[in-house]
Each structure stands twice: as structure tokens, then as C-alpha cells.
Amino acid sequence: MTNKQLVLVSGANGHLGNNLVRLLIEKGFQVRCSVRNIKNKDCFKGLVCEVIQADITDKASFVKALQGVETFYAVGASFKLWAKDPKKEIYDVNMDGTRNTIEAAAEAGVKRIVYVSSIAALDYTKLPTKESNGYNPDRRDMYYNSKNDGEKLAFQLAEELGVELVSVMPGAMIGSEAFLPLNVSYGVLKLILNKKIPMDTKITLNWVDVKDVAEGCYLAAQKGRSGERYILANEKCMTITDTTRLAQKLYPEIKLKVPGSVPDFILYTIAGFMELSAKISGKAPVLTRKEIAMFSGLQQNFDISKSRNELGFNPKKPEQAVEEALAYLMEHKDLL
């Protein structure tokens, strides 16, 4: 017997997961939170929710976690663009995780799944990019591949197993409640404030407030059509350099320098050294040659009319999202 008020959020100690948990509690739901490491519970202090251990690579743990749940927010995934073994640590984890959690949801009698995909699962060859463009043909990155193949697998399994599934595709999420380690997107703002971006990479990001994405996930559960995908991002992207200019204007006391343009061969050389250093240290490089090749000059502009019209999704503008996220980081110096 499902409890209409009981929902499960996987990856509940991540940036989106934790902000979604807070929103659902405010909306009056009984919230169960699954985390891979049960010791990682600081972000739930003061929240009225149930925290349990479940790992997306362990199907049995999710069959147990999903008992009595009506709506499952499948947020948990390996969100990183670099790993020593990207296929094993990113692609396989996300593909196995998708299969395990959706099969577990069907076994547990879950009625509806909100599957958190990514704007990585979109085709950027026609702008503005929209859901109906299809999937990303660029196969150079294991995280991107896992989001494209994972979403296709999610829809296929949901149809076979008779579970309603709606996919949401967030942009670069920043702002609001955050805990270390910061996610990849928020980490870019941290790099800017710490003066760790030495040159203009011409890389753009589609900034979106994490609270708006959490609201979009909730709206997708309420109004989203099963079998459909919805972009949860902004219409326009911003370059990292323009983002730095905004930070410079807001915080003149930091004395930020706007990164200058350099020839491509210098960009690639610097990135190559960073990758070499990462192999030795085991820590993700600030920049890789693949990221320059894939993202330098790529315009991440979206047609979000489907999400606006069908869900009522209405994100704050990217400049405002950046301004508020920078203010949060400046207030919480421990995150820097």
C-alpha cells in the first residue's frame, strides 16, 4: 500500500537533492532521503525527514528504500567530468544506477519517477536547443554519454515495467544551501572568487538557481507528462569570463582580473599540464583538453517554452542566480 505523502529523494545529500528535500518538506510531504554514505548527514540537521543508506549500484538497497513510496525523485548519480577511469567510475555507475533504481521502483510499486537527466543529453547542433532536437551526438565525454544513454534506458525500462517516468534536464546549478564538496558548477564560481581561472577559455555555462530546479522537479512530478523530457535551465548562457566580470563588479575589494584571451595552442598546452598533474595527484584538473575541444565557444541557449507552458517553470535570470550564488559563497567562507 503506497502512502501518497511519502516520497524518496536519492542522492539527498547532494546539491540538488538536499534543496529538493527542503522544498518537499515545506510542501508537506513525508520525505525519505537516501544517501550512499550514512555518515554524511550534516546537511539534514534540523530537517524533519528519514535518512537511510542506499547505493544506486546496489539494487536490493533501493527495493528496500522504495517500500511504500509513491513518487521517486531519482537524483543520485556520479556527477563529475573527470576520473582516473571514466568508464568505470562515471559511465558504468550511472548506467547501472539507472537500471537498478528503476527496476527497484517497479518492484516496490512506485507510481511515478522524476528522473534527473541533464542538459548534457541534448543535441546542440540547432539553436536554441529544445527537447525535441533529440540526443547529443558528441560522444567524447563519459559523463555526457552516461546522461544520454541513461535517459534512453530510463524511458525504455519505465515503459517495459509500467512505471510513469518524467525526465528533467537541469543546467549548471548554483546557489542556496550548499555543502562541501561543491558540485562542478558551483565549483566554477569558487574558482573565480579564488582567482584560479587564468585565461579566457570561451566556455559558457547555462546558470540556473538550484531552488528553481528543485521547484521544476516538484512541478514535473505534479504536471509532467509521462514519457516526456523537460529542460530546467535558462534561455541564455553566460561565458565564464562574463561571469568573472559580474563578480569583479560586485566585489571590487577582491581585485579580480578578467582573464585575457590566449591562442588555442596555449590553452591546450596549459590543459595538458593540468591533466598530467591530475594523474599524479589524483585530483581533478581545473581544465582538460577535451573540455576545451567540446565546450569552448559552445552556445548553451535553450528554448524552455515547453517547461514554462506545461510545468509552470519560471527560473530567475542567470545574472541574478550568479549574484545570489556569489553572495552565498562570500557569506559562507568555509566553502571557499
Predicted local distance difference test score (pLDDT) of residue 1:
42
> How crowded is the C-beta side of 70, counted as CA atoms within 13 Å?
11
Domains of the chain: 3-179+208-235+302-316 (3.40.50.720)
Three-class DSSP category at 209: strand
pLDDT in tens, 236-257: 999 999 999 999 999 999 999 9
pTM for this prediction: 0.96
Q: What is the mean pLDDT of each run of 10 residues along the chain (336 residues)?
A: 77 96 97 93 94 96 97 94 92 97 98 97 95 96 96 98 98 93 92 92 96 98 98 97 97 94 92 92 91 94 98 98 97 92
Q: Could you tell me the three cell numbers for 309?
A: 507552458
* Residue 96 burial class via C-beta count within 10 angstroms: exposed 0-12, middle 13-18, buried 19 and up: middle
